[in-house]
Amino acid sequence: MRRTIIGLTIFSLFIISSPFMTARANDDKNTVKKNSATTRVPAAKSGGTAKASAPAVTNANVESELQQLRDFVQTQSEELQELRGRLAAMERKVGPASSASTSIAVESSTSGVNATPETTHPSVRSHTSAVPRASADDQAEKPSPLSVKIGSAKFTPGGFLDMATFFRSTDLGSGIATAFGGIPFNNQLPQAALTETRFSSQYSRLSLKVDADLTKSTSITAYIESDFLGFQPANAFQTANSDSPRLRLFFGDVKHGKWEFLGGQAWSLLTPNRVGLSPMPADIFTTLNEDPNFQVGLIWARQPQVRVVYHPTSHWAIGVSLENPQQFAPSSVVFPSAYFSGQFDNGSGSTSAASSATNTAVPNLHPDVIVKTAFDGKAWGHDFHLEAAGLVRSFRVSNNLTTPDTTNTITGGEVP
């Protein structure tokens, strides 16, 4: 439509100039004839003729006026090209809905520049308005958004489908999560003599992140993540295969200036980070394999906590976290009396263990206190991440082996 308007405007300019040029040319011809008649003189006896200067002067005037007309047409063409660029920029900003009104405005502005009665002829206007609009197919397709905005909040769904097939040369009987501490030796029969092959979709994941700006310096992020590695019903591997959902993460994170506050279930602050002290899963250093138990030696936990982080600079962060404690003692520890077994968690890894009923009743003196600092920078063109962390934990038990009974407390720390 823009090309048609520009073409019609240039065509109208040539229509305007044609009568003017024709009339001017006729006048010039008559003038040339008159001047030729008045300036003609008899030839000299020597055979020469007198030079007539009037026709040359008149032709120079015509050529000058034609050049002025060419310059005028060139100027109008440049102005139309500039208006065409502006129109394209406006269409990219406001979209195709208002392109028609923009085109009409451009037509009016171009017809108003040095306009003559012929340029605003009704037939020209009606012909221009009859040009069809550009179809929607001509517009560039916009990519689909990854988030949905509701009010001032932006909702970003996530997750993936996981269909895993795993084979083990020995029978662990541990499901998709490998029990690295229970791999049988060759003399442990029948497990060492049997292999196992299974399918599982339990590691599939669903997540949702919500971001919102409360003020110019305050923003909030809420995140929830779940998989299907929860408690297994009795018929899980026979008919229904109904894997139960499990809460992995669910927290809210508020950032205000250089401060950051987090509350909810998140990765422990003691878990290594890839970037800063961010609680987001993509910024946590966990192995990218298909085993939910990750790798041997990786310190990690997902547990309820309250965290405060201060960012002195964009590359340095300092954080303190109060996290859910649990007095844990492995089942290999043998207490001198059955009285102590109910005061320690030594069976939460198996819901069928005899001590599982007492796991929730384990006493805890205070939350675990974790302090961590991290620094991100560049060296020799490569990114690097440095961090250091420490943990403080207390244990308290009641001792009935003394008279009267006493309460013993011990506090210890660790810098991994």
Taking only the tens place, the pLDDT of each residue in 162-182 is 998 889 999 988 778 888 878
Instruction: Please state the length of the chain.
Output: 416
Is residue 374 in a domain?
yes
DSSP assignments along 213-239, one per residue? ESSSSEEEEEEEEEES-SPPPTTTTTS
Clarify whether residues 101 and 225 are in a common domain.
Answer: no
The four Cα atoms 348, 354, 357, 358 give a dihedral, to 10 degrees, of -80
H or E segment and range at residue 106: helix 99-111
End-to-end CA distance of the chain: 70
Other C-beta atoms lying within 10 Å of the C-beta of residue 92: 10
Q: 341 burial class (0-12, 13-18, 19+ CB within 10 angstroms)?
A: middle
Specify the pairing of strand 406-414 against strand 382-399.
antiparallel
Phi, psi of 85 (to 5 degrees): -65, -40
CA angle 116, 122, 124 (to 5 degrees): 80
Contact 36, 55 (CB under 8 A): yes
Q: Name which residue leads in pLDDT, 285 or 416.
A: 285
Clarify whether residues 130 and 32 are in a common domain.
Answer: yes
Clarify whether residues 330 and 371 are in a common domain.
Answer: yes
Taking only the tens place, the pLDDT of each residue in 45-97 is 444 444 444 455 567 788 888 888 888 888 888 888 888 888 888 877 765 54
What pLDDT shows up at residue 349? Answer: 66
What pLDDT shows up at residue 368? Answer: 96
CA distance 214 to 253: 12
Per-position b or e across 359-370, b if 16+ CB within 10 A of its CB: beebeeeebbbb
Over the chain, what is the mean pLDDT?
Answer: 78
Is residue 253 in a domain?
yes
What pLDDT shows up at residue 198? Answer: 87
Residue 314 domain boundaries = 148-159+200-414
DSSP assignments along 117-130, one per residue? TTTT-HHHHHHHHT
Model-level pTM?
A: 0.63
Quote the number of domains for the chain: 3
Q: Is 67 helix (H, G, I), strand (E, B) or coil?
A: helix
Is residue 50 in a domain?
no
Q: Name which residue leads in pLDDT, 1 or 182.
A: 182
Clarify whether residues 97 and 7 are in a common domain.
Answer: yes
Is residue 254 in a domain?
yes
Tokens found for residue 113: 């520049």
Chain center to CA of 374: 24
Is residue 47 in a domain?
no
What pLDDT shows up at residue 317? Answer: 98
Residue 51 CB contacts under 8 Å (≥ 6 apart), including other chains: none
Nearest alpha-carbon partner for 301 in 288, 317, 316, 284: 284
Clarify whether residues 191 and 207 are in a common domain.
Answer: no
Clarify whether residues 185 and 205 are in a common domain.
Answer: no
Lowest mean pLDDT among 34-43, 58-67, 155-164, 221-230: 34-43
Clarify whether residues 214 and 233 are in a common domain.
Answer: yes
Specify the pairing of strand 382-399 against strand 368-379.
antiparallel
DSSP assignments along 337-365, one per residue? SHHHHTTSB--TT-TTSTTGGGGGG---S
Say yes or no to pLDDT of 44 above 70.
Answer: no
Contact 18, 6 (CB under 8 A): no
Clarify whether residues 320 and 410 are in a common domain.
Answer: yes
Say yes or no to pLDDT of 373 above 90.
Answer: yes
Is residue 43 in a domain?
no
Phi, psi of 30 (to 5 degrees): -65, -40
Is residue 49 in a domain?
no
Clarify whether residues 185 and 97 are in a common domain.
Answer: no
Mean pLDDT of 193-201: 90
Clarify whether residues 207 and 276 are in a common domain.
Answer: yes
What pLDDT shows up at residue 145? Answer: 80
Is residue 272 in a domain?
yes
Taking only the tens place, the pLDDT of each residue in 249-294 is 999 999 999 999 999 999 999 999 999 999 999 999 988 777 888 8
Mean pLDDT of 329-335: 80
The four Cα atoms 196, 201, 202, 208 give a dihedral, to 10 degrees, of 160
Clarify whether residues 187 and 274 are in a common domain.
Answer: no
Lowest mean pLDDT among 19-23, 376-380, 409-413: 19-23
Q: Where are the beta strands (DSSP E) in 53-168?
A: 148-150, 153-160, 164-168
Clarify whether residues 126 and 182 are in a common domain.
Answer: no
Q: Name which residue leads in pLDDT, 395 or 33.
A: 395
What pLDDT shows up at residue 109? Answer: 46
Is the four-CA dihedral 248, 254, 258, 259 of positive or negative sign?
A: negative
Say yes or no to pLDDT of 128 above 50.
Answer: no
